[in-house]
């Protein structure tokens, strides 16, 4: 099974609720779901449960942070899910951000690109062959697994260097709240440069945007508030938005035009137009739509959004 062109992402307060939402998404016809791992449910754990309680839906992580999890442990978990759901799993990894790793977890956030290059090398090698002997500046690993897995390994990317790394070594790159013109003008060229340097075809580019099915702007802004609030205050995102043509991001706050560039909203007809515009402008191969439930009835809004994603 290949990665679906359009998939859904969502948040839930517990692993049980997350699993039930995945099962509900499959019943509603959603082809693929993507989960991140932050302060809530662990994506790999939830997908292990979903692997044996669903039959057709594709599952991908976007992303699992690398600093807190050893690459051999990551490989073991990914290979287990791949065995439980053959052809239905993609592993997305990334270094996350300095404030999360150092401020929240107390893990030094040192040379993230170098770290990710070595991590990705170890991970892909052990998944492909079941063994790895690697000595680098960040890792010294000599390990074997009982089995590996033939699964896509994608990495998160925000600035040009990380897209180049994905082009060189990964099976794809996944963005996070990058406006479509930035993907077209910065991400795709960098991905292609990395691939050319490695003498291989350009890997997949998986874009991300939020989806909020409401024609009321105030309702959209309320739904988007907590999900997107802190990003312009993070230097990497502020720099990305500035490069995308939004210099106001340097002030650490959202402008209306910034929000409109990454939160696709409106009723079903208008939202479909915006999804099509985003894909056409960005040139991305795939799109993850993170659901922002709108209004008081969150379950009804979630189901409406999942039906919408299934219809695309």
Outline where 130-179 has alpha helix (H). 160-169
55, part of any domain: yes
Q: What is the DSSP letter of 200?
A: S
299, part of any domain: no
245, part of any domain: no
Number of domains in the chain: 1
> If phi over 0 gives left and psi between -120 and 50 gives alpha, with beta otherwise, what is residue 240?
alpha
255, part of any domain: no
Kindly report the CATH number assigned to the domain that includes residue 139.
3.20.20.30
Residue 1 confidence (pLDDT): 63
57, part of any domain: yes
Q: How far apart are CA 114 and CA 103, in angstroms?
A: 21
Closest CA to 2 of 198, 291, 272, 285: 285
Does the CA dihedral 211-215-219-222 come out positive or negative?
positive
Residue recorded with tokens 């107390």: 106
46, part of any domain: yes
Report yes or no: 176 and 256 within 8 Å, Cβ to Cβ: no
Chunk the chain into consecutive blocks of 10 residues (it has 312) and report each block's average pLDDT, rounded to whole numbers.
Answer: 93 95 98 92 97 98 96 98 98 90 89 97 97 96 95 97 98 96 97 98 98 93 85 90 93 91 96 98 98 92 97 97
24, part of any domain: yes
Residue 301 confidence (pLDDT): 95
Residue 104 confidence (pLDDT): 87
Q: How far apart are CA 237 and CA 254, in angstroms?
A: 11
pTM of structure: 0.96
**Which structural domain range is residue 132 located in?**
1-156
């Amino acid at each position: 099974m290949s990665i679906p062109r359009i998939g859904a992402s969502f948040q839930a307060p517990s692993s049980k609720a997350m699993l039930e939402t995945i099962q509900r998404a499959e019943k509603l016809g959603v082809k693929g779901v993507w989960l991140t791992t932050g302060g809530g449910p662990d994506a790999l754990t939830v997908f292990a449960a979903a692997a044996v309680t669903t039959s057709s839906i594709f599952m991908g992580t976007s992303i699992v942070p690398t600093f807190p999890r050893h690459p051999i442990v990551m490989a073991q978990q990914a290979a287990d899910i791949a065995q439980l759901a053959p052809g239905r799993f993609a592993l997305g990894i990334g270094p996350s951000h300095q404030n999360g790793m150092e401020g929240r977890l107390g893990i030094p956030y040192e040379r993230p690109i170098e770290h990710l290059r070595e991590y990705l090398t170890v991970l892909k090698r052990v998944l492909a062959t079941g063994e790895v002997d690697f000595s680098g500046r960040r890792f010294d690993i000599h390990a074997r697994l009982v089995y590996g897995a033939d699964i896509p390994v994608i990495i998160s990317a925000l600035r040009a260097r990380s897209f180049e790394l994905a082009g060189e070594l990964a099976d794809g790159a996944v963005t996070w709240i990058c406006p479509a013109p930035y993907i077209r003008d910065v991400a795709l060229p960098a991905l292609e440069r990395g691939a050319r340097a490695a003498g291989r075809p350009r890997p997949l580019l998986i874009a991300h945007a939020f989806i909020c099915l409401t024609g009321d702007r105030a309702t959209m802004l309320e739904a988007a508030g907590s999900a997107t609030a802190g990003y312009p205050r993070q230097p990497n995102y502020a720099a990305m938005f500035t490069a995308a043509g939004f210099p106001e991001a340097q002030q650490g706050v959202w402008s209306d035009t910034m929000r409109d560039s990454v939160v696709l909203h409106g009723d079903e007809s208008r939202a479909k137009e915006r999804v099509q515009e985003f894909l056409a402008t960005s040139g991305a191969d795939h799109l993850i739509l993170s659901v922002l439930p709108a209004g008081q009835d969150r379950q009804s809004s979630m189901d409406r959004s999942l039906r919408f994603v299934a219809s695309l």
